[in-house]
A and B are shown apart, each in its own frame.
Chain A
Amino acid sequence: MPRLTGDARHRVRFTLNGAAVEGEAEPRMLLSDFLRHVLGMTGTHVGCEHGVCGACTIEIDGVPARACLKLAVQVEGARLRTVEGLAPAPDRLSVLQAAFRRHHALQCGFCTPGILMSLDSLLRERRDADEAAIREHLSGHLCRCTGYAPIIAAALDAAATLRGAS
């Protein structure tokens, strides 16, 4: 039974956007801090650190999750995806990202990585997601800039494009 002592750093390994990564963390280190400070992956943002704002939302083993409500040591061996993993190539945006750009669905961009990760998983699970489903999903995120309307428009547009493509 692995017991990791609180006063030492321990090795943590997992898969991030398809690549094996590792680093060291005290048990109390939040996954959001591990991603940003240990791995230097600063796409995942940190707002409230208690699960409310949604800025730190990533995907763990295929489902959306708050990175600020996980310990780094908890995700040993898991498969993680962050906003850095969305674009299919360095010079190409995903369908959802492109829709965000067209619809001005971001201003300061602070909330955007979390919202993209949530909507990406929603649209993968439910190609038929309608406005009500998108609004409900967005209830787990705070955006202080856009007023949400352009985000909903972008998500509906992306959903239509994805349906057309499949």
Chain B
Amino acid sequence: MKPARFDYVRAETLAEAHAVLAESGGEARVLAGGQSLMPMLSMRLARPNILVDIMRIPGLAEIAVEGGVLRVGARITQAQLLAWPDLSTRLPLLAAALPWVGHAQTRSSGTVCGSVAHADPSAEIPLALLALGGEVELSSRKTRRRVAAQDFFVGTMSTARRDDELIEAVRFPLKTPGDGFAFREVGRRHGDFAIVSVAVLVRGDTVRVAIGGVADRPQARDFRTLDGAALADALDQFAWSLEARDDLHATARYRRDLVRSFGRDVIEEARRCRG
């Protein structure tokens, strides 16, 4: 299990990283924390010709509140975001979800943006970004744009990012007064990828439910405040619409059951935590 050959570029500026991506014709890959890319290189599931290490580029290591949004730069690790002092009050959903991303020993290297770029269907950070209605900041040598999470995740490990673009930052909308949040996940062991994960945001009379681990990407639905049988029906429809499949870890039926029962419980919890 050793990676195949590649050139390694330690980019010192954003412009250098952009240039390598632009000139490589899709043969280059960004190397951030390496917690997903390195296993893929070792297993030879990925065979890029060039790796561009972005972890020494100044200016990408910032966590900043901009208006109602937390902007998290590309070098910020999952551990650094967890240690942001206002996380539990201003981004309670992430405070609940981040401890589920791997282990302390991987969160210390793995980046927030890297998880979004990797777009694993059961990953917690993409799920939270979608539930909160966040955005991804992309830039290339010639362009810069923001893409809503809703449009960014396209399929299993597939996103709207073009080969010459890198993610400079992701933007998480902060809690507004009265919001309620909750997150829960079922996996075989803590730190394993989710079989099903559920994130809920209650705002005004809308309940947004986002589900990870079932479809090929995280999926969210907005419901008007519902209760009892109406809520059960809505969750049941949502569960079926995700087109769950059987795999090594769980059957499709078990996944649908989890969406229904967890969905209800997590909505309850989010309502209780409003404030």
Contacts and interface: CB of A to CB of B under 8 A. Distances in A.
B142 interface: no
A2 B10 contact: yes
Contacts of B41: 28
B104 A140 contact: yes
A26 B5 contact: yes
B9 A65 contact: no
Contacts of A118: 104-105
Nearest to A135: B190
Which residue, B34, B43, B99, B105, has most C-beta atoms of chain A within 10 A?
Answer: B105
Contacts of A7: 5
A1 B16 CA distance: 7
Contacts of B31: 71, 74
Nearest to A64: B105
A30 B10 CA distance: 16
A67 B189 CA distance: 23
A70 B104 contact: no
A140 B31 CA distance: 22
Chain B interface helix/strand/loop/mixed: loop
B34 A70 contact: yes
Interface string B26-66: 00000100110011011100000101010100000000000
Which of under 10, 10 to 19, 20 to 34, or 35 or more describes the interface residues of A? 35 or more
A65 B51 CA distance: 20
B191 A69 contact: no
A73 B10 CA distance: 9
Which residue, B2, B8, B12, B42, has most C-beta atoms of chain A within 10 A?
Answer: B8
A51 B102 CA distance: 10
Contact of A2 (B9, B39, B189): B9
Interface string A41-85: 000000001110010010000011110111101101000000000
B189 to A, nearest CB: 7
Interface string B211-232: 0000000000000000000000
Interface string A117-158: 010001000000000000011011100000000000000000
Nearest to A62: B108
Nearest to A26: B5
A5 interface: yes
A4 interface: yes
A101 B105 CA distance: 24
A92 interface: no
B133 interface: no
A32 to B, nearest CB: 11
A69 B109 contact: yes
Per CB-CB distance, the 6 closest pairs between chain A and chain B, nearest first, are A140-B103, A27-B8, A6-B5, A50-B39, A63-B108, A69-B38
Interface of B: 1-13, 16, 31, 34-35, 38-39, 41-43, 49, 51, 53, 55, 79, 99, 102-106, 108-109, 189-191
29 contacts: A1-B11, A2-B10, A3-B8, A5-B7, A6-B8, A7-B5, A27-B6, A28-B2, A28-B3, A28-B5, A28-B41, A33-B2, A50-B38, A50-B39, A54-B103, A64-B104, A65-B105, A65-B108, A65-B109, A66-B35, A69-B34, A69-B39, A70-B34, A74-B34, A118-B104, A137-B103, A139-B103, A139-B190, A140-B191
Interface of A: 1-7, 26-28, 30, 33, 49-51, 54, 57, 63-66, 68-71, 73-74, 76, 118, 122, 136-137, 139-141
